[in-house]
Amino acid sequence: MRILQLRLLLLLLINISWVNNTAASETHETHRQKLRIIALAPHIVESLYAIGAGDQIIATTAHSDYPAAAKDLLVVGNYARLQIEKILQLKPDIIVAWKTGNPADDLARLEKYQLKVVYSNPQNLEDVATELQMLGKLTGRSQQANTLAEQYLAKLAFMQQHYANQQKIKVFYELWSRPIRTVAQNSWPQQQIELCGGINPFADAKDDYPNVGLEQVLVTLPQVVIQPSKSTKGDPDSLPWSQWPHIPAVKNNFILHPDADKVHRMTTRMLDEIKILCDQVNVARQFYQQQN
What is the pLDDT averaged over residues 83-98?
96
Q: Is the pLDDT of residue 268 over 90?
A: yes
What is the pLDDT averaged over residues 104-114?
94
Between strands 176-177 and 180-181, the pairing is: antiparallel
Q: What is the pLDDT of residues 189-215, one digit of tens each?
A: 999 999 999 999 999 999 999 999 999
Query: Would you say the CATH fold of 166-291 matches that of 37-152?
Result: yes
Q: Which of 174, 180, 201 is nearest to 260 (CA)?
A: 174
* Amino acid in position 253: N
* Amino acid in position 21: N
Phi, psi for residue 17 in degrees, rounded to 5: -65, -40
User: Is the bond preceding 179 in cis, omega lying within 30 degrees of 0?
Assistant: yes
CATH architecture of 37-152: 3-Layer(aba) Sandwich (3.40)
Crossing angle for the helix pair 127-139 and 268-291, nearest 10 degrees?
170
Sorted by where each begins, the domain ranges of the chain are 37-152, 166-291
Q: How far apart are CA 102 and CA 17, in angstroms?
A: 45
Q: What is the pLDDT of residues 213-259, one digit of tens each?
A: 999 999 999 999 999 987 545 566 789 999 999 999 999 999 999 99
Give me the pLDDT at residue 84, please: 95
Q: Where does the pLDDT of residue 2 fall: very low under 50, low under 70, confident under 90, or very high at 90 and above?
A: low
At the topology level of CATH, where does 166-291 sit? Rossmann fold (3.40.50)
Q: What is the pLDDT of residues 157-190, one digit of tens each?
A: 999 999 888 999 999 999 999 899 999 999 999 9
* pTM assigned to the model: 0.87
Give me the pLDDT at residue 23, please: 45
- Within its chain, how far is the Cα of 66 from the centroid? 13
Give me the pLDDT at residue 16, please: 53
Percent of the chain with pLDDT over 70: 89
Burial class (CB in 10 A: 0-12, 13-18, 19+), 176: middle
- Sorted by sequence, the CB contacts under 8 Å of residue 151 that are 6+ apart come out as 268
- Within its chain, how far is the Cα of 220 from the centroid? 29
Report H helices in the chain.
2-32, 42-50, 84-90, 104-112, 127-139, 142-163, 188-195, 214-218, 248-251, 260-263, 268-291
- Average pLDDT, rounded, for the chain: 90
- The sheet with strand 255-256 has its strands ordered as 198-199, 169-173, 224-226, 255-256
Q: How far apart are CA 85 and CA 115, in angstroms?
A: 12
Burial class (CB in 10 A: 0-12, 13-18, 19+), 206: exposed
**SS3 call for 97:** strand
Q: What is the pLDDT of residues 5-22, one digit of tens each?
A: 666 656 655 565 554 554
Give me the pLDDT at residue 27, please: 66
Write the DSSP assignment of 1-61 as a string of letters: -HHHHHHHHHHHHHHHHHHHHHHHHHHHHHHHTT--EEE-SHHHHHHHHHTT-GGGEEEE-
Contact 167, 201 (CB under 8 A): no
